[in-house]
Structure 1
């Protein structure tokens, strides 16, 4: 069953196209992402690949930062690029589970921004991450 409040994610890229369908849910201060784990998302052991989790975490944190930045006067065209990204993998996501990335923007500065995220399957914490972004 699809997690509540999610709809088809409209921002596509060549990297994420094979992972479709990706879902997103916008809150007042974040863009959360979700995907139902399938074979195409997994490593040789049958768990969601760390590269998938990292890319989705990076994407969700960056989208959240840009969303908040664009709400500032004169920043309607704001964009961001990743400077650092770190994740701690705490558990495994399995085929059929919904993987959700829940970002939180920590600080939005003029030239740098910082975010953290939780990656969950239901109540289980799969990974936690943090990143810094250069505002452009």
Structure 2
């Protein structure tokens, strides 16, 4: 794992089962990471597309909320993934997330996932933001 990445705490049994997901902060933004383990792979020792989609769902939501300055529970409305290249067993995947737009209720986010600088996944998502707490 590259220097500066730390495990990101997650809640819920499912995310604990697929993680750990790592994060480091650089220039005011989070960069997310995942080390591809055997349990993440298909029968060809390549990270399963469902695992990549799960990673995209999690980090686009978390990264988008951080950039929007919002906290709480988000709901995925739509997630689109383009699988560009394989991520083999033992690969380190890095994800950079960009918040495109946020309204009061919804955010639009995209991300590029790379292995050794080469893109393996392009993802975009629409997420429902948590309702602000009322006083």
**Deviation of residue 30 (structure 1)?**
4.1
Hey, what's the Cα distance between the residues in 2 that align with 1:35 and 1:102?
Answer: 12
Cα deviations by residue, 1:78-123 (Å, 9 ceiling, x for unpaired): 5421100000001000111101221111111111110000011111
TM-score by length of 1: 0.84
Question: How far off its partner does 1:26 sit?
Answer: 3.2
Partner of 1:34: 33
- State the match for 1:95 in structure 2: 89
Structure 2 residue runs without a partner (length 5+): 131-135
Structure 2 residue matching 1:56: 3-state secondary structure: helix
Between the two proteins, the alignment pairs up a number of residues equal to 130
Q: Cα RMSD between the aligned structures?
A: 1.8
Gaps of 5+ in 1: none
TM-score by length of 2: 0.85
CA drift at 1:48: 0.1
Counterpart among 86, 99, 105 of residue 105 in structure 1:
99
CA distance in 1 between counterparts of 2:42 and 2:28 reads 32
Give the structure 1 partner of residue 133 of structure 2: none
Q: 2:79 aligns with which of 76, 85, 103?
A: 85
Given the superposition, is the C-alpha separation of residues 48 and 19 from structure 1 closer, same or farther in structure 2, using an over 3 Å criterion?
A: same
1:68 Cα deviation after fit: 2.9
Shift of 1:16: 2.4
